[in-house]
Structure 1
Amino acid sequence: MTLPHTEASTSYGQPAIKTGGRMFVSSGHEAGSFHVRSPFAEKEVLIDTDPATFWQTPHYEGWPGLLVRYGTADANRVRLVVTRAWWDVASITRRKALGDRP
């Protein structure tokens, strides 16, 4: 909720965070984790390089998003992934205000 123009909302009946009505983080469907949008290429790299933090279930295969375990040791990396997710769904005007994609 610290990113610009974010609002608490819901997605498929679950708590979510949106910008401009577009979801980029949600509670997900797995205990101990939350869902964040991520382009397929980045999703693959995140899961391959840090499977203790980033993972997916069959439910998320073929979807541009992945699960993030709470309590990861690399909070800065998670923050970056969430900021990129915000940037990917934000309007062009809001993207320009933040700058280049992190």
Structure 2
Amino acid sequence: MSLDWDGVVAFALSLPGTELSTSYGKPAVKTNGRAFVAPGREAGSFCLMIDLDTVEMLMETDPDTYWQTPHYAGWPAILVRYDSADPERVRAMITQAHGWNAARPKPRPRRKP
């Protein structure tokens, strides 16, 4: 997997039950109706939706790769820098995020105004 948006999407789509979709008007890879990979709002990073305990652990163990802005603080999401020194761990975290989101209940449909 190359660590750029196209490589991240290709890897995420290789996981079972995934689809290319959108989240907040941007491209995203979803499983079980839930986005688990989306482009970051910050250049050079993508967003990974994963449980809060893992978010905390990743920021403590590899803050050069995994980080948050105030926008993401307190949410089950973390930014991942494409230039990570450990792309294998990034791939493992994408797989873990996929599993976590696949096991969650399907989101409720949004009401249209």
Shorter-chain TM-score tier: 0.7 to 0.9
Native 8 Å contact 2:50 2:101 kept in 1? no
Deviation at 1:82, TM superposition (A): 0.7
Check the 8 A contact 1:14/1:28 in 2, yes or no: no
CA–CA distance in 2 between the matches of 1:38 and 1:91? 12
Checking the alignment, whether the CA contact within 8 Å between 2:36 and 2:97 is kept in structure 1 is yes
Equivalent-residue separation in structure 1 for 2:84 and 2:77 (angstroms): 18
Question: Which runs of 5 or more structure 1 residues have no equivalent in the other structure?
Answer: 93-102
C-alpha contact 2:51 2:77 (8 A) present in aligned 1: yes
Counterpart position of 1:99 = none
Unpaired segments of 5 or more residues in structure 2? Answer: 1-12, 105-113
Q: Take 2:63 and 2:75, find their aligned partners in 1: how far apart are those partners? A: 17
Q: Percent identity?
A: 54
Cross-structure match for 1:10: 22
Question: Do structure 1's residue 35 and structure 2's residue 64 form an aligned pair?
Answer: no
Aligned equivalents of 1:37, 1:70: Cα separation in 2: 16
| TM-score (normalizing by structure 1) | 0.84
Moved over 3 A (4+): none
TM-score by length of 2: 0.77
- Number of matched pairs: 92
Structure 2 CA distance for aligned equivalents of residues 19 and 55 of structure 1: 23
The answer to whether the 8 Å contact 1:25/1:36 transfers is: yes
